[in-house]
């Protein structure tokens, strides 16, 4: 029975200075780094990334900030890289999502190639690996590593954190969201999202 920390979308475009910045994103990256230095009970640490190539109506020149958004986290761009305040040394795997759709949940993510650096420019992940097999999903990877418990932190509370936590609990994982280690787009919507998660069986700490 193993426990994994899932770090959701702590990327440059979601932090101050990015194209879709969340207030407090850079500070949150620092706080998660401090959590990583103190925590001893995680068997695995994984990170998710928005990794958009052509996500259709998810990108808009006139976004409604509900289902459509400004261009962000384009695959291989600086904006898609993990924020420099996040220490990636102990991250075991990276999962990219949203190449051709919105993909809010980390469980839509596919495993990134092992030989690629944790931050900076990357090539877009192919639909099959070099052996011709389908790429590994986050759910596949967690199950292969006998993970039963997941703890979720990251950006944004009311969007990708919410979606990832709902998918985790629906997939049968014991799921926890750390309230002090998430940041949201909208304060009211974030509180509503946390209430929804608690009602769904997610533990809030």
Question: What residues contact 10, with CB distance under 8 A and at least 6 apart?
Answer: 25, 28, 29, 32, 47, 82, 83, 86, 154, 155
**Three-state SS annotation for 114-155:** CCCCCCCCCCCCCCCCCCCCCCCEHHHHHHHCCEEEEEEEEE
Which residue in the list 15, 97, 108, 167 is annotated as catalytic?
A: 97
Is there a catalytic annotation at residue 9? Answer: yes
Is there a catalytic annotation at residue 146? Answer: no
Question: Sheet holding 147-155: strands in order across?
Answer: 110-111, 93-97, 44-50, 2-8, 147-155, 174-183, 203-204
Q: Under a CB-based contact definition with an 8 Å cutoff, are residues 71 and 77 in contact? A: no
Is there a catalytic annotation at residue 78? Answer: no
Q: Residue 166: helix, strand or coil by DSSP? A: helix
- 38 — phi, psi (to 5°)? -100, -30
Which residue in the list 73, 149, 160, 167 is annotated as catalytic?
A: 160
Catalytic residue set = 9, 97, 160
């Amino acid at each position: 029975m193993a426990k994994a920390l899932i770090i959701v979308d702590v990327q440059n475009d979601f932090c101050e200075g990015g194209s879709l910045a969340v207030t407090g994103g850079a500070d949150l990256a620092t706080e998660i780094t401090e959590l990583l230095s103190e925590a001893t009970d995680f068997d695995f640490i994984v990170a998710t990334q928005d990794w958009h190539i052509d996500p259709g109506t998810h990108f808009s020149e006139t976004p409604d900030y509900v289902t459509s958004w400004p261009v962000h986290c384009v695959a291989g761009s600086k904006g898609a890289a993990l924020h420099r305040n996040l220490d990636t040394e102990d991250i075991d795997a990276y999962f990219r999502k949203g190449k051709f759709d919105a993909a809010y949940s980390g469980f839509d993510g596919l495993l990134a190639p092992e030989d690629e650096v944790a931050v900076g420019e990357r090539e877009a992940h192919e639909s099959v690996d070099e052996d011709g097999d389908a790429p590994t999903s986050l759910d596949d990877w967690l199950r292969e590593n006998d993970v039963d418990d997941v703890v979720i932190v990251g950006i944004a509370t009311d969007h990708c954190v919410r979606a990832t936590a709902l998918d985790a609990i629906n997939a049968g994982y014991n799921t926890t969201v750390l309230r002090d280690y998430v940041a949201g787009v909208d304060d009211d919507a974030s509180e509503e999202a946390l209430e929804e998660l608690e009602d769904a069986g997610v533990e809030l700490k």
